[in-house]
Chains A and B, each alone.
Chain A
Amino acid sequence: MNPVIETKNLSKWYGNVLGLSDVFLQISSGITGLLGPNGAGKSTLLSLITGQIKPSIGSVSLLGERIRNNYPLLARIGYCPERDSFYEEMTGWQYLTGLLKLGHFSSSQIESLAEKALDIVELVEDKHRVIRSYSQGMRQRLKFAQAIAHNPEVLILDEPLNGLDPLGKRKLISLIKSYRQKEKTVLVSSHVLPEIEALTQQIILIHQGKIFAQGDIHYIRDLLETHPHKISIRCSHPRKMASEFIHKPYVLKVSFGTSQDSLIVETNNRDGLFSIIPSLSVKNNIQIDEITSPDDNLQAVFDYLVGK
Chain B
Amino acid sequence: MSIKERGYTHWDGKLKESRFPWWPISRLGIRLTFKKKFFKFFFFLSLSPALAYLVGIYVSERMEEFRFMVQESVSFLQINPNYFKSYLTGDFLYFMIILILVFAASGLISDDLRHNSLQLYFSRPLKKRDYFMGKSSVIVFFLFILTMIPSLVLFLMKLIFSGSFKFFSTYPWLPLSIIGYSLLLTVFFSFYALFLSSLSPNRRYVAVLILGFYFFSDILFGIFKGIFHSHYFSLLSIKSNLQQVGALFFQQKTPYEISWVFSLLVLLGVCVLSALVLRKKVQGVRIIK
Contact = CB atoms under 8 A, between A and B. Distances in A.
Interface residues of B, number: 35
Contacts of B285: 43, 47, 52-53
A104 B126 CA distance: 10
A64 B8 CA distance: 9
B111 interface: yes
B259 interface: no
Contacts of A85: 115-117, 119-120
B116 A84 contact: yes
B13 to A, nearest CB: 11
Given A87-B115, A104-B16, A104-B18, A183 B6 contact: yes
Interface stretch (A75-83, A165-173, A187-195, A255-263): A75-83
A85 B116 CA distance: 5
Contacts of A236: none
B76 interface: no
Given A1-B6, A64-B10, A103 B28 contact: no
Contact of A74 (B7, B117, B123): B123
B7 A4 contact: yes
Nearest to B116: A85
A222 to B, nearest CB: 16
B120 A146 contact: yes
A101 B128 CA distance: 16
A86 interface: yes
Interface in A97-114: 98-99, 101-104
Interface string B107-138: 00001000111011111111100000000000
Interface residues of A, number: 45
Contact of A2 (B7, B21, B111, B126): B7
Contacts of A79: 119-120, 123
Nearest to A215: B4
A215 to B, nearest CB: 9
A17 to B, nearest CB: 7
Interface string B1-12: 001111111110
B116 A83 contact: yes
Contacts of A76: 15
A14 B117 CA distance: 22
Interface in A223-276: none
A124 interface: no
B226 interface: no
B69 interface: no
A77 B120 CA distance: 12
A232 to B, nearest CB: 28
A185 B289 CA distance: 32
A43 to B, nearest CB: 8
A76 B8 CA distance: 13
B115 A63 contact: no
Interface of A: 1-4, 14-15, 17, 28-30, 43, 47, 50, 52-53, 63-64, 71-77, 79, 81, 83-88, 98-99, 101-104, 146, 153, 180, 183, 185, 202, 216
9 closest residue pairs by CB, A with B: A1-B7, A72-B15, A52-B284, A101-B24, A79-B123, A30-B3, A104-B18, A29-B6, A102-B124
Interface of B: 3-11, 15-18, 21, 24-25, 28, 111, 115-117, 119-127, 283-285, 287, 289
21 contacts: A2-B7, A29-B3, A30-B6, A50-B123, A50-B284, A52-B122, A52-B123, A71-B17, A74-B123, A75-B15, A75-B16, A76-B15, A85-B120, A87-B111, A99-B120, A99-B124, A102-B21, A102-B25, A102-B125, A104-B18, A104-B125
Given A1-B9, A73-B15, A83-B116, 17 more contacts: A1-B5, A1-B6, A2-B7, A4-B8, A14-B289, A30-B3, A30-B6, A50-B123, A52-B119, A53-B287, A72-B17, A75-B125, A81-B119, A85-B119, A87-B117, A102-B21, A183-B3
